[in-house]
């Protein structure tokens, strides 16, 4: 008796219900196509749903309202520069080509954007603020009302299925509550399963420097999609650039980060010896590399009242005042007293701050080459006005930002450059976009844009704005 090959079938299988997965499924629904959206955990949202909610878009109405002059060209240049020119130009171009339409598409689907902030790697303010849980709720509601997608929670894809080597991917093997099921995908499988920060073996292979760094991300970030595609011969991209992020309070647990970036509003970073060690205007990933080299991997973001006045109430990584109120930020009336609170030699801290101030006032070259608050944006300020503040900061692994090799249509390519038919990857699971470092807002932006592109490619359809 012949065994039944498939338990169920659909047009597209989308593996992972974070932002990339929801955008992919919604794109499919709008094209009139059925999909199954698999989610291995009991909750949808993944890392996306717990993220800072900042999206990098350029040329938006919100930027224009604030008089911010941003363009596709500027965005492209920033992405390439932050990525150390190691990123794939064609994939960066793809992001830039579809970013504004995707911003409008998200808005049309109920995503609420707040005014743009400047953050790491941006030469103009372009981090469009959202509440990440609201983003996922809005897209999930739209998907449900569109009616063509089935979301299967607690169902993990475990293998990609195909008839023979080099043949098209035909479906997935999935596990739910100990039960195995085979689902056929008539038009293809889209991997949107996020990063691998929680997979100790993959970290040991690709990022041994990060072993032991605290991890904060979605609970399903085990690298499943990467492993499944790798088994089929998929190429891997940017694996040498896995980095942790600087600026997390050492008391943060593994669910909520306590990231704060006073450095991008003018603070300096000092180590336990009270000395600066880096150009603080660099991407927080590069600051993370530098911090890992310091004693105990620990630093302090030190600043004064002028910087404190730049606090942004309610903006997760820039609400300095909230950190004071919650007891995470140390505060003192003099620099010497602050040094005592953080256990740093007062004379060393005084020397560091006065040297820094002197160079700014005198227009001298900074010893670490710092000329701006963040990536050429913002004029530096002297740190002179009491009270003074210090935010203890270590690194945190938030994401891996590298992974499966794709072309500029989000088709997965193998180690020899051939496409693996009917297999697509988008979002954090996919490599080639960030290169050596990550610009704030481009993780969520990439998940939304490339999730949509993957489906448009699978269906051979166009991407609209709404």
Ligand X SMILES: Cc1cc2nc3c(=O)[nH]c(=O)nc-3n(C[C@H](O)[C@H](O)[C@H](O)COP(=O)(O)OP(=O)(O)OC[C@H]3O[C@@H](n4cnc5c(N)ncnc54)[C@H](O)[C@@H]3O)c2cc1C
Is 38 one of the binding residues for ligand X (CB under 6 A)?
yes
Q: Is the dihedral of CA 62, 64, 68, 72 positive or negative?
A: positive
Pick left, alpha or beta for residue 69 (phi over 0 → left; psi -120 to 50 → alpha; otherwise beta).
beta
* Region of 45-53, 91-99, 296-304, 365-373 interacting with ligand X (CB under 6 A): 45-53
Instruction: Report the DSSP pairing between strands 155-162 and 419-425.
Output: unpaired
* Residue number, 320 or 438, with CB nearest to ligand X: 438
* Region of 19-27, 61-69, 340-348, 352-360 interacting with ligand X (CB under 6 A): 19-27
* Region of 46-54, 96-104, 105-113, 336-344 interacting with ligand X (CB under 6 A): 46-54
Query: Site for ligand X (CB under 6 A): which residue of 398, 425, 436, 454?
Result: 398
CB of 356 to ligand X, least distance (A): 29
Cβ proximity of 66 and 410 under 8 Å:
no
* Residue number, 220 or 247, with CB nearest to ligand X: 220
List the one residue out of 179, 159, 161 whose CA is nearest residue 169: 161
Is 14 one of the binding residues for ligand X (CB under 6 A)?
no
What span, in angstroms and rounded, lies between the C-alpha atoms of 32 and 301? 51
Pick left, alpha or beta for residue 282 (phi over 0 → left; psi -120 to 50 → alpha; otherwise beta).
beta
CB of 172 to ligand X, least distance (A): 8
Is 399 one of the binding residues for ligand X (CB under 6 A)?
yes
Length of the chain equals 466
Query: Site for ligand X (CB under 6 A): which residue of 16, 116, 171, 297?
Result: 16
Site for ligand X in 348-367 (CB under 6 A): none
Is 19 one of the binding residues for ligand X (CB under 6 A)?
yes
What span, in angstroms and rounded, lies between the C-alpha atoms of 100 and 111? 14
Is 435 one of the binding residues for ligand X (CB under 6 A)?
no
What angle do the packed helices 19-30 and 442-459 form, to 10 degrees? 30
* Number of alpha helices (DSSP H) and beta strands (DSSP E) in the chain: 13, 19
User: Which residues 6+ apart lie within 8 Å of 382 measured at CB?
Assistant: 306, 356, 357, 360, 361
Is 288 one of the binding residues for ligand X (CB under 6 A)?
no
* Region of 3-11, 143-151, 190-198, 306-314 interacting with ligand X (CB under 6 A): 190-198
The SS3 call for residue 338 is helix
What span, in angstroms and rounded, lies between the C-alpha atoms of 209 and 289? 9
Is 304 one of the binding residues for ligand X (CB under 6 A)?
no
Is 41 one of the binding residues for ligand X (CB under 6 A)?
yes
Site for ligand X in 213-252 (CB under 6 A): 216-218, 220-221, 224-225
Residues that bind ligand X (CB under 6 A): 15-21, 38-41, 46-48, 50-54, 156-157, 192-194, 216-218, 220-221, 224-225, 257, 398-399, 427-429, 440-445, 447
């Amino acid at each position: 008796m012949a065994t039944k090959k498939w338990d169920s079938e659909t047009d597209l299988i989308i593996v992972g219900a974070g932002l990339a997965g929801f955008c992919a499924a919604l794109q499919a629904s709008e094209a009139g196509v059925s999909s199954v959206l698999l989610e291995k955990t009991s909750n949808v949202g993944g890392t996306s749903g717990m993220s800072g909610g900042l999206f990098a878009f350029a040329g938006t109405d919100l930027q224009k309202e604030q008089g911010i002059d941003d363009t596709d060209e500027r965005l492209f240049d920033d992405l390439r520069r932050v990525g150390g020119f190691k990123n794939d130009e064609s994939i960066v171009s793809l992001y830039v080509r579809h970013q504004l339409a995707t911003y409008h598409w998200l808005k049309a689907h109920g995503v609420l954007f707040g005014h743009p902030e400047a953050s790491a790697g941006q030469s103009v303010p372009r981090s469009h603020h959202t509440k990440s849980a609201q983003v996922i709720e809005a897209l999930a509601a739209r998907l449900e009302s569109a009616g063509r997608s089935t979301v299967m929670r607690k169902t993990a894809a475990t293998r990609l299925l195909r008839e023979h080597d080099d043949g098209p991917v035909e479906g997935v093997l999935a596990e739910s509550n100990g039960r195995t099921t085979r689902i056929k995908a008539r038009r293809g499988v889209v991997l949107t399963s996020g990063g691998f920060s929680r997979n100790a073996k993959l970290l040991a292979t690709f990022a041994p420097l990060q072993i032991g760094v605290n991890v904060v991300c979605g609970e399903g970030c085990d690298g499943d999609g990467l492993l499944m595609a790798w088994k089929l011969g998929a190429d891997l991209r940017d694996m040498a650039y896995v980095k942790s992020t600087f600026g997390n309070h050492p008391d943060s647990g593994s669910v909520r980060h306590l990231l704060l970036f006073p450095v991008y509003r003018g603070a300096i970073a000092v180590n336990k010896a009270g000395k600066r060690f880096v150009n603080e205007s660099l991407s927080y990933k590069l600051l993370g590399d530098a911090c890992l080299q310091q004693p105990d991997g620990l630093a302090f973001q030190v600043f004064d009242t002028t910087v404190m006045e730049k606090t942004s109430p309610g903006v997760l990584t820039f609400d300095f005042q909230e950190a004071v109120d919650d007891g995470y930020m140390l505060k003192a009336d003099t620099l010497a007293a602050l040094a005592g609170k953080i256990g740093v030699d007062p004379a060393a801290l005084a020397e560091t701050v006065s040297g820094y101030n002197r160079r700014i006032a005198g227009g001298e070259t900074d010893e670490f080459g710092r000329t701006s608050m963040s990536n050429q944006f913002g004029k530096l300020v002297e740190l002179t006005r009491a009270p003074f503040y210090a935010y203890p900061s270590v690194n945190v692994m938030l994401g891996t930002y590298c992974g499966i090799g794709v072309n500029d249509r989000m088709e997965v390519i193998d180690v020899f450059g051939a496409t693996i038919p009917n297999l697509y990857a988008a979002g954090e699971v996919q490599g080639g976009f960030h290169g050596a470092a990550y610009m704030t807002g481009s993780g969520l932006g990439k998940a939304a844009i490339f999730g949509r592109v993957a489906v448009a490619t699978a269906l051979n359809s166009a991407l609209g704005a709404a």
